[in-house]
Structure 1
């Protein structure tokens, strides 16, 4: 799948929500741990760095190798992701005087910036961080601010690498979907061709090819994952699928 988006997960509670928002744009995405970047990145048109409950100033910081991504793929750092890009490229990230959590409004947006196309000053965003960016890297430019957060959004000059201190994936950020569309569609050029039905059809075809005439035994817990797997397998191989229900004691 050539129009794919890679989400690198740093442990954020919102990572799955980022994926959901991307898929709502009819764009397929995959979530991978930050330290398990695929060697073959040819199918990915853009990369999103998630938030994290940790600090880039910690001794044991999550430190992925982005050398195969930066400058080659459009990158969007969200919250921790933005702090990471700033901190390890010559910027300064420090502890906030008070934890910044809640609604804020964009008081400044750089005029003519495609990243903020169709988003106006006064747009509401959602903040959730204990650290803040105090100084940007020298080769970057400020794109947006709130009353309390000067560097709410920025980009690196000469490349499509962006950082935002707020969370576009939560519904409190009123123009979050528009922002993601600006980045993924207008900047990264990702085609909006993915649908759940198309994904199911592709998966069924792949299962048919891999399994052939073999038989499959599948444990069913009653949860979403195993149930969806069972439905797709049954569409692919029919009576060659044998399901075993496992009562794990946690059913409702």
Structure 2
């Protein structure tokens, strides 16, 4: 069984990049919003707190109870996450004299700390924040600085807790991946044994166990997300998967038939529904883009619902979508 990392999302634009870097290290991770964390914390080996557009000094600061994590599991705070750990554990975060955005260099590094193993002084990092940590908690020590940011990184003594005010997940942080590797593999002792193939195999087994011999209906868009979902479902339940691919009249020339042929070539049980005239007629004289979006959305639901009712005995509705959509739907 793979060892997992929990990424708690505070709304950062870079959260998905954190997950990508973690998985590039062959470690499985999951992103969950700070305000809807319905998971078993015991099932995760380490925790990462993301950045955020909010300030820990603000009345609108995003709060999360760290009592079951801090000092219990290895914890890494990135930007807002680092400031949150410091500010609400006896430290002090203040507004920076100027917004710190862009490239910077670590002018001082504590090479005895395992977080910076293999890094050299001067390595480039990426800053993106308007607050800075003025004072650390009493039981913390500074382990890296830049010319402008004294407490660019800190650790809490006798706890596997770290904070960094830069973003190791972005390309511009040259040794960012090494820092994440140090935290996850060297400090948290996570085995890097996760692969996409392992995820695929596990997902197919879970579908078989959950769905059994029931019928499943899936709407296909022609895109990557719904297609991946269809292939995984097909491998799990075969012809009990019923796919519906609707032509809304807005596809490129000959795309409907081309995509339909590809789906059939994959062995999918798919029905193509050409409702292009229906959609185009509804959109006639509709000029406002937002209104067009609503018309298209409602029309698709009506068509899909009509076709779904023709499939007798279906008990499950499947959806393939991207990770950010899942996070936004439950946050």
Q: TM-score range by the shorter chain?
A: over 0.9
Q: 1:122 corresponds to which residue? A: 122
Q: TM-score, normalised by structure 1?
A: 0.96
Question: Where does structure 1 lack aligned partners over 5 or more consecutive residues?
Answer: none
| Separation of aligned partners in 2, 1:138 and 1:193 | 37
Q: 2:50 corresponds to which residue? A: 50
Residue 183 (str. 1) matches residue 183 (str. 2): yes
Cα gap change, 1:248 to 1:174, in 2 (>3 Å): farther
Q: 1:16 corresponds to which residue? A: 16
Q: 1:107 corresponds to which residue? A: 107
Which 4+ stretches in 1 moved above 3 angstroms? 246-252
Cα gap change, 1:250 to 1:71, in 2 (>3 Å): farther
* Paired residues for 1:203-242 under 5 Å: 203-242=203-242
* Paired residues for 1:90-169 under 5 Å: 90-169=90-169
Q: How far 1:158 sits from its partner (Å)?
A: 1.1
Q: How far 1:244 sits from its partner (Å)?
A: 1.1
Q: 1:194 corresponds to which residue? A: 194
Greater CA radius of gyration, 1 or 2? Answer: 2
Choose 218-227 or 163-172, whichever is displaced more.
218-227
| Separation of aligned partners in 1, 2:16 and 2:111 | 32
Choose 7-16 or 240-249, whichever is displaced more.
240-249
| Separation of aligned partners in 1, 2:251 and 2:120 | 47
Residues 72-101 of structure 1 deviation map (CA, whole Å, 9 limit, x = unaligned)? 110000000001111101111111111100
Q: Is the 8 A contact 2:54 2:60 kept in 1?
A: no
Q: What is the RMSD of the two structures over their aligned residues, measured on CA atoms?
A: 1.4
- The DSSP-based 3-state class of the residue aligned with 2:42 is coil
Q: How far 1:58 sits from its partner (Å)?
A: 0.8
Question: Where does structure 2 lack aligned partners over 5 or more consecutive residues?
Answer: 253-331
Choose 212-221 or 222-231, whichever is displaced more.
222-231
- The DSSP-based 3-state class of the residue aligned with 1:235 is helix
Residues 98-136 of structure 1 deviation map (CA, whole Å, 9 limit, x = unaligned)? 110010111001131111000110110000001111111
User: How many residues of Structure 1 are paired with residues of Structure 2 in the alignment?
Assistant: 252
Q: TM-score, normalised by structure 2?
A: 0.74
| Separation of aligned partners in 1, 2:10 and 2:249 | 32
Higher helix fraction: Structure 1 or Structure 2? 2
Cα gap change, 1:246 to 1:100, in 2 (>3 Å): farther
Q: How far 1:221 sits from its partner (Å)?
A: 2.4
